[in-house]
Amino acid sequence: MSGLGKGIFSSSLAKLLKDKGLKVEPIKMEGYLNIDSGTLNPYRHGEVFVLDDGMETDMDLGTYERMLDQNLGAANFTTSGQIYRRVLDKERHGGYLGRDVQMIPHVTGDVKFNLRKLAMNTQADVVFVEVGGTVGDFENGFYIEALRELAFEEGDAGVCFVALTYVIEPQALGEQKSKAAQLGLKKLMEAGIQPHLIACRGHNEIEESAMEKIAMFSNVPKRRCFSMHDRKSIYTIPESMREAGLDREVLTRLGLHDRVNQRNEDTAREEWQGFVNKLTRKRKFKARIGITGKYAKIRDAYASIDKALEHCGVHLNADLDVQWLDTTEMQPSDVPRKLEDLNGIIVPGGFGKRGTEGKIACIQYCRENALPYLGICLGFQMAVVEYARNVCGLKDAGSTEFDPNTTAPVIGLLPEQKEIEGLGGNMRLGGKDVQVKSDTLAYFLYNNQNMIRERFRHRFEVDPQYIEKIEEQGMVFSGQHPQQPIMQVLELPTKIHPYFIGAQFHPELTGRPLKPQPMFMGLVAAAIQHAHPDVEPGEISKRWLPPVEYSIKG
């Protein structure tokens, strides 16, 4: 069933097998006709997660990358639109030798071919296939059929099916009811698929009686039914699965016990458990972080930011109270009242003019009041606009994305981009190298590296003709394209601001539980110091707080 956490279950189980030394490859198969997720509204579908190769996917791919600590690519994501396009392109080029092209065998055949190609190209021991949507939907019916055929062709020990179902618990009754789950599983079996594992989703832990009924009516032994109830964090799920023996059940089903590396599993388990122990302990510090964006009403729109902050809170021993502030209707006069109790601000990415003036007012407040600030993509661009207006004296400074007639277009399309037509044609997408200046905050955060790699998703840049004027007034562009005059990181020197940095890329996309993202770690450390001014910086972090005194000027 859609929206219950198939990606969380699948990535957690994949992690357990990867811990054992197996090579795993996930793939998410979406039912919609879009070629990718790039044009989907965040309100409807959550954030767009960009892979290193530039593929725009849904947020589940972010869950896989974080859980597996593994970079994925276009081969790990497909949509109905991609599949239909491949089939129709092949038909137009005579690839079917005059046959009438049908859902079976041609569309289902393309699905099976691409799953096998992923397995062969990556030399994976196990491919984890996640089908989006709900069993019984028209849009994913051909995926279900393709997997039924795949299981038939690969043989009984070649495939392990998992069904994720929902156990309802009406408040008026005060007890769990499994009938809806039974009917959903019946629908799956009517499609010719017998599940081997069942994940039972619910608010509270699934009771024995409900689990027994689900096991009985799905022909799945109860030891293979797993309670996937709400937890403090999704990162506690892998160990719960391990304790329930799901990893051993899969190995038995697929005949993979002989490929297990026990030493690798012991090491990986110890590292992960160390993180989970920190996650579940009582924290020493507290800090309030504000996320000021225009999609703040739906947290899934900023899922990777939320996770990146969670990682940092764990590593820095801090409880983070994340405040979601909608800038759409925020007036400049509202900003001091809304931000005065916060210890750090993130202005995230986005497209379109709506909410940008509210973001600019928030950035000005952070700059003038020594409030730790991290700007991401549009947050980077709006920091340039704010600085140009209020420090450099360019009162009409703006972005040509919002005002093509501005007399001071500090943000705009570069000349070579203007020649490219099409909505996605001039987007800068995917992993790119960033050259970092020595002796800057960015250089400190990235452990004194002059070359880093981060992921981009934007169209507009800092106009090169304004760079010198802006830097003359104190802002530093500490990261840029290795060959072109394209600015990618900005900051204020730590002698005048404790933490003010912006990135044209999306740092949240590369944050991992055991490898927290440097810019977020810097922000959270600075926010903790802001919240606990009497605590010595060394008690908070010797690694993430630059050893520089600052003073407020002007």
**Residues with a known catalytic role:** 377, 506, 508
**DSSP of 249-317:** HHHHHHT-GGG--HHHHHHHHHHHHHHHHHHHSPPSEEEEEEEEESSTT-GGGGHHHHHHHHHHHHHTT
Strand, coil or helix: 476: strand
The CA-based angle 25-57-360, given to 5 degrees, is: 135
3-state helix, strand, coil in the chain (%, to 5): 45, 20, 40
Whether the Cβ atoms of residue 382 and residue 363 lie closer than 8 Å to each other: yes
Strand, coil or helix: 191: coil
Q: Which two tokens stand for residue 264?
A: 């690798």
Residue 542's region, left for phi above 0, alpha for psi from -120 to 50, else beta, is alpha
Strand, coil or helix: 244: helix
- Cα(542)–Cα(315) distance, integer angstroms: 12
How far apart, in Å, are the Cα atoms of 400 and each of 405, 464, 504? 7, 14, 16
The single-letter DSSP state of residue 51 is: P
Query: What are the residues facing 50 on neighbouring strands?
Result: 56
- Cα(470)–Cα(447) distance, integer angstroms: 26
How far apart, in Å, are the Cα atoms of 37 and each of 34, 51, 77, 270? 7, 11, 10, 36
Cis peptide before 105 (omega within 30 of 0): yes
Q: Which two tokens stand for residue 416?
A: 């070579």
- Cα(347)–Cα(329) distance, integer angstroms: 15
> Reading across the β-sheet that carries 24-30, which strands appear in turn?
77-79, 24-30, 126-131
Phi and psi dihedrals of 161, rounded to 5? Answer: -95, 135
